[in-house]
Amino acid sequence: MVEEHYSGHLVIKAFNAEKAKNKVFDETNERLHQTMFKAQIAGGMLQPFMSFLSYFSYAAICLVGGLLLSKDTAGLSFGTITSFLIYANLFQNSFTQISQAMNSLQMAAASAERVFGLLYEEEQENESHKKPLLDFSKIKGEVEFRNIQFGYEKDKVIIPDFSAKIKPGMKVAIVGPTGAGKTTIVNLLMRFYEVNSGNIFIDGISTKEMSRHEVRDVFGMVLQDTWMFEGTLKENIIFNKPQITDEQLKNIIQESNLDYYVSTLSHGIDTVITEESSLSSGQKQLVTIARAMAENAPLLILDEATSNVDTRTEIEIQEAIDKLTQGRTSFVIAHRLSTIKNANLILVMKDGNIIETGTHEELLAQNGFYAKLYNSQFELA
Ligand SMILES: Nc1ncnc2c1ncn2[C@@H]1O[C@H](COP(=O)(O)OP(=O)(O)OP(=O)(O)O)[C@@H](O)[C@H]1O
Ligand SMILES: [Mg+2]
């Protein structure tokens, strides 16, 4: 709870929610306090109680033994009683030790519950035996979705029956209202999730037969949410491609429109950036585009890649993206429909289904859902 509120403190401040959140915190904290208090009392009591039992039994044995010895009826000797005392002591010692470890044992039990919760999660299929099936230099980039059915939860279907065949080198745009399932299609394509039924083929090979590693090798990707790690700008762009030369990096930075920003930095591309600071949302997006350029994969996925940059930068980046997508099969998701006008194929999605397909002109001529969507972007203007 502390962590959640700490990372969301800007929102809490912006909504003036300190008081309410403090109250929730106090309540939770009080509950923790009560529980810990009880736990400490119980834990602390255990050892004195065991000691008491131990001494009590010691005294009892002495007393009873002494009485028996004085009457001399049972044929007990002084030595028997002494050894009995020692045995009793040894026996109780082990209990005292267990009681000392009780606290730790309980904590271990609580942790074990979580550890086993994780261990009992369904395993991802072992793929170490899968051999590479694609020849990386000869990938054509034909992608086919065949009768895909999928839902994030078992009983809630998001994509009922999705089929599409994409020819090599095509620029495919996926458009549709928020929540239509565009990002879901991308997640399935990258095998971040497994389809319930159906198949996705890359160059005629089902992605189920490939290893996840291979599938992801084939795609370069710019995601809807940007992500930076703490490191220099250069490290963030090069990421998993250490063989990139300085010359190539310079080109990438120029094409992704980062050159002006880099020139304002005191250490240039060696400036250290972090996830929270140093970059605006648009700049982060430019870095992720540059990262995809560096990756230079045969297929490309752009999910709202330019949603956070201004329109002029968008046009400039569009040129870079056009260059990048040239001759590569690429999937472009964009809400601003003006940016995907030149796509070879537009898939219009609604509620997980493709309701219209065609080029921009064809779809406008159909005067259907796409035409409505497209025109609505200009009505206000
Ligand atoms: N991880 C998830 N678990 C459960 N449901 C999810 C998850 N991610 C998305 N959904 C649901 O799947 C549906 C499709 O979501 P998706 O992210 O594919 O939409 P989208 O078309 O990309 O929308 P947007 O244009 O807003 O990005 C939504 O109804 C959403 O609530
Ligand atoms: Mg999305």
Q: Looking at ligand 1, which atom is closest to the CA of residue 180? A: 21
Residue 64 or residue 305, greater confidence: 64
Of 77-91, 280-294, 312-326, 363-377, the poorest mean pLDDT is in 312-326
Rounded to the nearest angstrom, the distance between the alpha carbon of 223 and the centre of ligand 2 is 9
Both tokens of residue 164? 């599409």
Contact 285, 253 (CB under 8 A): no
Alpha-carbon span 45 to 49, nearest angstrom: 6
Both tokens of residue 118? 């994780």
Per the prediction, the chain carries an average pLDDT of 88
pLDDT of residue 312: 82
Tell me: pLDDT of 72 over 80.
no
Q: Give the number of other CB atoms < 10 A from CB of residue 356.
A: 19
pLDDT of residue 114: 94
Q: Is 181's C-beta closer than 6 angstroms to any atom of ligand 1?
A: yes
Q: Looking at ligand 1, which atom is closest to the CA of residue 153? A: 4
pLDDT of residue 380: 59
Residue 315 or residue 189, greater confidence: 189
Closest ligand to Cα 349: 1
Across 55-76, average pLDDT: 85
Q: Looking at ligand 1, which atom is closest to the CA of residue 177? A: 25
Closest C-alpha among 309, 294, 223, 284 to residue 253: 294
pLDDT of residue 275: 67
Atom 26 of ligand 1, nearest CA residue = 178
Q: Is 182's C-beta closer than 6 angstroms to any atom of ligand 1?
A: yes
Task: Give residue 359's pLDDT band: very low, low, confident or very high (50, 70, 90).
Answer: very high
Q: Is 347's C-beta closer than 6 angstroms to any atom of ligand 1?
A: no
Task: Give residue 74's pLDDT band: very low, low, confident or very high (50, 70, 90).
Answer: low
Across 39-63, average pLDDT: 88
> Which pTM value belongs to this model?
0.78
Contact 150, 196 (CB under 8 A): yes
Tell me: pLDDT of 269 over 80.
yes
Task: Give residue 377's pLDDT band: very low, low, confident or very high (50, 70, 90).
Answer: confident
Across 289-297, average pLDDT: 88
Tell me: pLDDT of 73 over 80.
no
Closest C-alpha among 327, 323, 333, 328 to residue 302: 333
Residue 173 or residue 381, greater confidence: 173
- pLDDT, tens only, 136-155: 788 888 999 999 999 999 88
Contact 291, 232 (CB under 8 A): no
Q: Is 231's C-beta closer than 6 angstroms to any atom of ligand 1?
A: no
Rounded to the nearest angstrom, the distance between the alpha carbon of 12 and the centre of ligand 2 is 26
Rounded to the nearest angstrom, the distance between the alpha carbon of 224 and the centre of ligand 1 is 12
